Chains A and B, each alone.
Chain A
Amino acid sequence: GQNIDQPTEMTATEGAIVQINCTYQTSGFNGLFWYQQHAGEAPTFLSYNVLDGLEEKGRFSSFLSRSKGYSYLLLKELQMKDSASYLCAVRNAGNNRKLIWGLGTSLAVNP
């Protein structure tokens, strides 16, 4: 089967660093995406990894290890507005290139 696991909830303090992990088992792999979703809003694209290593984009970084089926999203200098759900999604190989989604990690940033 195909499965994506990420923690359900996390809590962190404003100004701190938080790492959100994602592990996946899929029948094919053509890239991993991280999305941010605020309550009642649509998911917003954050990052994409298809090769092993770290991708940095401002306060957000994402890491991928394909051999381990593992990724993490690193958020630095946390702000209150970072309180949201963070969704990990793996793109299937093949023509439809469909995304398989995790259930999301709800991050609460406290002052």
Chain B
Amino acid sequence: DTGVSQDPRHKITKRGQNVTFRCDPISEHNRLYWYRQTLGQGPEFLTYFQNEAQLEKSRLLSDRFSAERPKGSFSTLEIQRTEQGDSAMYLCASSSTRGNSPLHFGNGTRLTVT
């Protein structure tokens, strides 16, 4: 168990550019979540996968955001035409389907849009 890994750790981009983040969950976990967190706030839910199926996407999420989990293993989160308000920590988490299974978080990708 190597834990949840995210890449890159930091990303600085100019407004209007597209960015893509990757998440590799714990191998036996079939649930994968993307969250966004800004300073002093709790994690904000973005989207959720069970295996390769995207089961829910936050209504707060604009169409510029898209996520995939093509083979039910790693996932990517893409933000198109980035805006300064997209600057945040993007957290990926995974869990099993057991009833008391907690979410295990990766170290996050910190995005700065200039």
Contact = CB atoms under 8 A, between A and B. Distances in A.
Interface residues of B, number: 21
Nearest to A98: B45
B43 interface: yes
A54 interface: no
B42 interface: yes
Of all A-B residue pairs in the complex, the 4 with the closest CB atoms, nearest first, are A101-B42, A42-B105, A45-B102, A96-B56
Interface in A30-71: 30-31, 33, 41-45, 48, 50
Nearest to B103: A99
Contacts of B55: 95-96
A103 interface: yes
Secondary structure of the A contact surface, majority rule = loop
Interface of B: 31, 33, 40-45, 48, 55-56, 91, 99-100, 102-108
Interface of A: 30-31, 33, 41-45, 48, 50, 87, 89, 95-99, 101-104
A42 B92 CA distance: 9
A100 B24 CA distance: 23
Contacts of B33: 98
Contacts of B45: 98-99
B75 to A, nearest CB: 16
Contacts of B106: 42
Contact of B41 (A33, A44, A98, A103): A103
A45 B48 contact: no
A98 B56 CA distance: 9
B42 A104 contact: yes
Given A42-B91, A96-B55, A48 B43 contact: no
B48 A96 contact: yes
A93 B46 CA distance: 18
A31 B43 CA distance: 17
B23 to A, nearest CB: 12
B52 to A, nearest CB: 16
Nearest to B41: A103
A102 B42 contact: yes
